[in-house]
A and B are shown apart, each in its own frame.
Chain A
Amino acid sequence: MSGPVLILGAASGIARAVARSFAEAGHPIQLAARNSARLEEDAADLRTRYGVEVTLHDFDALTLDSHAAFVEGLPVLPEVAVCAVGAMGEQAQSEADPQAAAHVMRSNFEGPASVLAHLANAMEARGSGSIVGISSVAGDRGRASNYVYGSAKAGFTAFLSGLRNRLAKKGVHVVTVLPGFVRTAMLDGMDTPGPLTAEPAEVGAAVLKAVEKQKNVIYTRPIWGVVMAVIRNIPEPVFKKTSL
Chain B
Amino acid sequence: MSLISGWGRFPKAECKIVSARTQADVEAAIATAALIARGNGRAYGDAAMNRGQTLAMTGMDRMLSFEDGVLVAEAGVLLADIIHTLLPRGWFPMVTPGTKYVSLGGAIAADVHGKNHHLDGSFRSCVDWVDVMGPDGTVTRATPGDDLFDWTLGGMGLTGVILRAQIRLRKVETMYIAQETRALTSLQDTLDAFAETQDAPYSVAWIDCSDGPHHGHTLLLLGRHATLEDLPSRWRPFDVRQKRKLPVPFGAPPFLFRGLWLRALTGIYWRRGAKRAGHALVDWDSYFYPLDALSNWNRLYGRNGFLQFQCALPEEASAAGLAELMDTIAASQTGSVLSVLKRFGSQSGHFSFPMPGYTLALDFPASERSLELMSRLDEITLAHGGRFYLAKDARMPEAVAKADPRAKAYAAMRKQAGLTDRFTSMQSERLGL
Contacts and interface: CB of A to CB of B under 8 A. Distances in A.
Given A13-B59, A49-B85, A188 B19 contact: yes
Interface stretch (A39-47, A131-139, A169-177): A39-47
Contact of B66 (A16, A42, A48, A188): A48
B21 A48 contact: no
Interface string A27-55: 00000000000100110110011000000
B62 interface: yes
A191 interface: yes
B65 interface: yes
Q: What interface size band does chain B fall in?
A: 10 to 19
Nearest to B66: A48
A41 B25 CA distance: 15
A184 B66 CA distance: 27
Contacts of A191: 1-3
Interface in B57-111: 59, 62-66, 74, 85
B21 A13 contact: yes
Interface string B18-29: 110110010000
A41 B64 contact: yes
A185 interface: yes
Contacts of B66: 48
A135 B189 CA distance: 64
A189 interface: yes
A41 B62 contact: yes
Q: What interface size band does chain A fall in?
A: 10 to 19
Interface in A1-46: 13, 16, 38, 41-42, 44-45
Most buried by B among A38, A42, A45: A45
Interface in B116-172: none
B358 to A, nearest CB: 38
B18 to A, nearest CB: 6
A48 B2 contact: no
Contacts of A38: 22
Interface string A186-203: 001101000000000000
Most buried by A among B1, B16, B59: B59
A188 B65 contact: no
Given A38-B22, A49-B85, A189 B17 contact: yes
A188 B22 CA distance: 15
Contact of A45 (B3, B25, B63): B63
Contacts of A188: 17-19
A189 B56 CA distance: 12
A49 B63 CA distance: 7
B65 A44 contact: yes
A20 to B, nearest CB: 10
A41 B19 CA distance: 18
Contact of B1 (A49, A184, A189): A189
B59 A48 contact: no
A124 B1 CA distance: 48
Given A13-B59, A189-B2, A48 B19 contact: no
Contacts of B1: 189, 191
A42 B2 contact: no
Nearest to B71: A48
Contacts of B62: 41-42, 44-45
A67 to B, nearest CB: 26
Nearest to A200: B59
B64 A48 contact: yes
Interface in B1-41: 1-3, 16-19, 21-22, 25
Nearest to B25: A185
Contacts of B2: 189, 191
A74 to B, nearest CB: 24
Contacts of A45: 62-64
B19 A184 contact: yes
Contacts of A185: 19, 21, 25, 59
A59 B229 CA distance: 53
B57 to A, nearest CB: 12
A38 B62 CA distance: 13
A48 B86 CA distance: 10
A157 B402 CA distance: 60
Interface in A39-79: 41-42, 44-45, 48-49
A116 B65 CA distance: 33
A49 B71 CA distance: 11
Contact of B65 (A13, A48, A184): A48
A42 B59 CA distance: 12
B64 to A, nearest CB: 5
Contacts of A184: 19, 59
Counting from the closest, the 4 A-B pairs by CB-CB distance are: A45-B62, A185-B19, A48-B63, A44-B64
12 contacts: A16-B21, A41-B22, A41-B64, A42-B62, A44-B62, A44-B64, A45-B63, A48-B66, A49-B85, A184-B59, A185-B21, A188-B19
Given A41-B62, A42-B62, A189-B1, 10 more contacts: A41-B74, A44-B65, A48-B63, A48-B65, A49-B85, A184-B59, A185-B21, A191-B1, A191-B2, A191-B3
